[in-house]
Amino acid sequence: MDQTFVPSRETGFSTSPDGSGDGEVARTPETLPTEFETIAARALTRRRFLGTGAALGVGAFLAQLPVTRPAQAAGQFDFAPVAANTLDTVTVPGGYGWHVVTSWGDPLWSGVPEFDHQSRGTGASQERAMGDNNDGMELFTTGGRHILAVNNEYVNRKIFHGNRASHKPENADDIRKSKAGHGVTIAELAMRDGKWSIVRDSSYNRRITADTKMDITGPARGHDLVKTAADPGGTTALGTWNNCGSGRTPWGTYLACEENFNGYFSSSDPDYKLSAEMKRYGIKTKDRGYGWAGSDERFDISKHPNESNRCGYIVEIDPLDPASTPKKRTALGRFKHENAAVTLATDGRVVVYLGDDERGEFLYRFVSDGRYAEGGNNRDLLENGRLYVARFADDGKGRWIELTPEATGMGSQAEISIHTRQAASAVRATTMDRPEWVAVSPVGAEAYCCLTNNKNRGKKPNAGGDATPVGGPNPRAANHYGQIVRWAPDGGDHASDGFSWNLFVVAGNPTVHKDAYAGSANVNKDNMFNSPDGLAFDSKGRLWIQTDGNYSNAKGFAGQGNNQMLMADPATGEIRRFMVGPKEAEVTGITWSADRKTVFVGIQHPGERGDSHFPGGGQTVPRSSIVAITRDDGGVIG
Ligand code: FEO
Ligand code: CA
Ligand code: CA
Ligand code: CA
């Protein structure tokens, strides 16, 4: 990995200052802001907060931000853009094709029944089949074999339990099936006759569910806050669920990221008093429809209040050892984790960028104590390190603030690793518009993060009472479109505490709005989108953007169609739509084959509102799926 960082006045990125929304991006020499421009930018931000900046156009203030980029230019676009649509299928550019690799309920072993569109499986079959709602994923290749690890974020209850009249779990086996629909699926893939599919009975195949035994590692291990009746030592948790984005380490492990873990707990005592800490993480007494506490008492918070402190972590899994015990890495903090973007500092320490996807929550960075050594023993580098939270200034600079007992006033590092949100609030971190995936550039020292949307921006504080003022990387009140922020660490070293930032794109709809909600200058009628979420760089340094947004194709979202995947050139800011997903689906999860000739893409929750039969068509049950996209000429795709 090239860690060199060359701040250049020649290759700087600058969005067109006229905010015309015509898609033209001015490729101008870097212009560092003058004092006047910095002051002007602050003034614009302030006016915007006061609600008077709407007529100025987003480009007007984006242009004021200093941007530093490495000298390398990314690859060119090599496909014709795909038009927005509302079809119940996957649309790719001419010269490309796609096929379904696997869908919810596909057996991993022979002897397991094929997915049954009537029953939609049982507890026993689901435990040995692909889980539901695939999200983040990574493909590992060893000795010519291809092993996919993929998160199964949640179950689409109306569809998953659609065999029941209530469309809800009705008995203990339904709960067993639900817990097995979650977690992680590990499956060997092979290409046969030009199509990828699961290798049944592979020795690599494995299901990790909400009941799989896991080690609790790092500062929280053994702390009183993670001790339960079933685990008085506070060292062993059961299961992982609501894993959203993914990550992979240079030493070949998979990172599953526990996001909305709170929604599975409830209380048999309706008068149970929730602690402030529970409230900050969104724990509620009322069941939200999963019903897990009904057949597994550990999800009853009135009986086992510490159980909820044992989830909300990054889980490290060895995808090549089906007998290995997954490890909850508490040093990386507890919050609603999106993904884990792993890179290396100049000195070999491991740096992981982490978003907390909730309105007004924060962006984090972990830096390991130990250093990565190729071929060395790197297995526990994520066990110990320092955790930081981002503070953005309006002048295009920012700092990572370390979360220590001294800085936060909290009792111990263990407490910080469990109640991380409170620690970040204590150091006055910047409240963000829902940080989703972070991606680190492979060609220069910079990172990007999707800030998906935040209807509460400028309107309501976060759950901890922290204000959410308009400004900095969160420039619009009632933000329904989202934006992508990027930063370059000082000195090109991801372990530096200072960074420069700007907004790479501010999503919007220039056919509906003429103000800041039209989006930045690199958004136009042909590439517009909302709610960027999944994010990854390909080997050429091109940025792939996946969306999880409003697919109504109406009003403020008219002309944007279904959720989609776009490709962006970090050097020019140009964005082009590459793919459109089926109806009522999110496009999420992306990984490439080792030869870079296939890109695997996740289609999550098609038909979540009842209007899709993807991928089977006819009257089949819609099923979350992974699709493979290849070039007709067999060439490299990224
Ligand atoms: Fe599961 Fe933040 O998306
Ligand atoms: Ca997501
Ligand atoms: Ca999302
Ligand atoms: Ca999702």
Distance 6 CA to ligand 2 centre (A): 32
Pairwise pLDDT comparison (501 vs 67), residue with the higher score: 501
Distance 118 CA to ligand 4 centre (A): 25
Q: Give the residue numbers spanning the domain of 140.
A: 29-66+85-93+125-259+312-631
Answer whether residue 20 is part of any domain.
no
Q: What is the pLDDT of residue 76?
A: 72
Whole-angstrom distance, CA of residue 46 vs CA of residue 59: 16
The minimum-distance atom of ligand 1 relative to the CA of 245 is 1
Q: What is the pLDDT of residue 43?
A: 32
DSSP letters spanning 595-631:
TSSEEEEEEE-TTTTS---TTT-TTPPP--EEEEEEE
Whole-angstrom distance, CA of residue 554 vs CA of residue 572: 30
CA distances from 397 to 488, 489, 542, 560 (A): 10, 10, 24, 33
Answer whether residue 306 is part of any domain.
no
Whole-angstrom distance, CA of residue 178 vs CA of residue 134: 14
Answer whether residue 109 is part of any domain.
no
The minimum-distance atom of ligand 1 relative to the CA of 153 is 1
Q: What is the pLDDT of residues 270-317, one digit of tens each?
A: 999 999 999 999 999 999 999 999 999 999 999 999 999 999 999 999
| CB count in 10 Å sphere of residue 42 | 16
Backbone angles phi, psi at 215, to 5 degrees: -85, 140
What predicted TM-score, i.e. pTM, was given to this entire model? 0.91
Q: Which of 183, 210, 216 is nearest to 330 (CA)?
A: 216
pLDDT category, 39, cuts 50, 70, 90? very low
The minimum-distance atom of ligand 1 relative to the CA of 434 is 2
The minimum-distance atom of ligand 1 relative to the CA of 242 is 1
The minimum-distance atom of ligand 1 relative to the CA of 357 is 2
Q: Which of 636, 439, 637 is nearest to 536 (CA)?
A: 439
Q: What is the pLDDT of residue 42?
A: 36
Q: What is the pLDDT of residue 575?
A: 97
Q: Into how many domains does the chain fold?
A: 1
CA 566 to centroid of chain Cα atoms: 16
Q: What is the pLDDT of residues 70-106, one digit of tens each?
A: 444 445 799 999 999 999 999 999 999 999 999 999 9
Distance 453 CA to ligand 3 centre (A): 9
Q: What is the pLDDT of residues 175-232, one digit of tens each?
A: 999 999 999 999 999 999 999 999 999 999 999 999 999 999 999 999 999 999 999 9
pLDDT higher than 50, residue 61: no
Distance 490 CA to ligand 3 centre (A): 30
Answer whether residue 342 is part of any domain.
yes
Distance 616 CA to ligand 2 centre (A): 25
Which bound ligand lies closest to the C-alpha atom of 608? 4
State the average pLDDT over residues 251-277: 98
| Close Cβ partners of 321 (under 8 Å, ≥ 6 residues apart) | none
Whole-angstrom distance, CA of residue 128 vs CA of residue 201: 10
CA distances from 6 to 74, 102, 464 (A): 15, 43, 39
Answer whether residue 50 is part of any domain.
yes
Whole-angstrom distance, CA of residue 151 vs CA of residue 624: 12
Does 17 sit behind a cis peptide bond, omega within 30 degrees of 0 on the bond before it? no
Q: What is the pLDDT of residues 128-165, one digit of tens each?
A: 999 999 999 999 999 999 999 999 999 999 999 999 99
- Tell how strand 327-329 and strand 213-217 pair up: parallel
Q: What is the pLDDT of residues 410-426, one digit of tens each?
A: 999 999 999 999 999 99
Q: What is the pLDDT of residue 229?
A: 97
Distance 529 CA to ligand 1 centre (A): 17
Q: What is the pLDDT of residue 544?
A: 98
**Ligand 1, CB within 6 Å, residue ranges:** 153, 244, 259, 338, 357, 436, 533
pLDDT category, 17, cuts 50, 70, 90? very low
Answer whether residue 4 is part of any domain.
no
Q: Sign (positive/negative) of CA torsion 278, 280, 286, 289?
A: negative
CA-derived radius of gyration, the chain: 23
Are 364 and 387 a contacting pair, CB within 8 Å?
yes
pLDDT category, 57, cuts 50, 70, 90? very low
Answer whether residue 250 is part of any domain.
yes
Which bound ligand lies closest to the C-alpha atom of 243? 1
pLDDT category, 48, cuts 50, 70, 90? very low
Which residues are within 5 Å of ligand 4 (an ion), measured at CB?
586
Answer whether residue 112 is part of any domain.
no
CATH of residue 513's domain is 2.120.10.30
Q: What is the pLDDT of residues 127-136, one digit of tens each?
A: 999 999 999 9
CA distances from 568 to 91, 280, 340, 505 (A): 18, 36, 21, 10
| Close Cβ partners of 91 (under 8 Å, ≥ 6 residues apart) | 82, 85, 579, 580
Place of tokens 């940080």: 435
* CA nearest ligand 1 atom 1, residue: 244
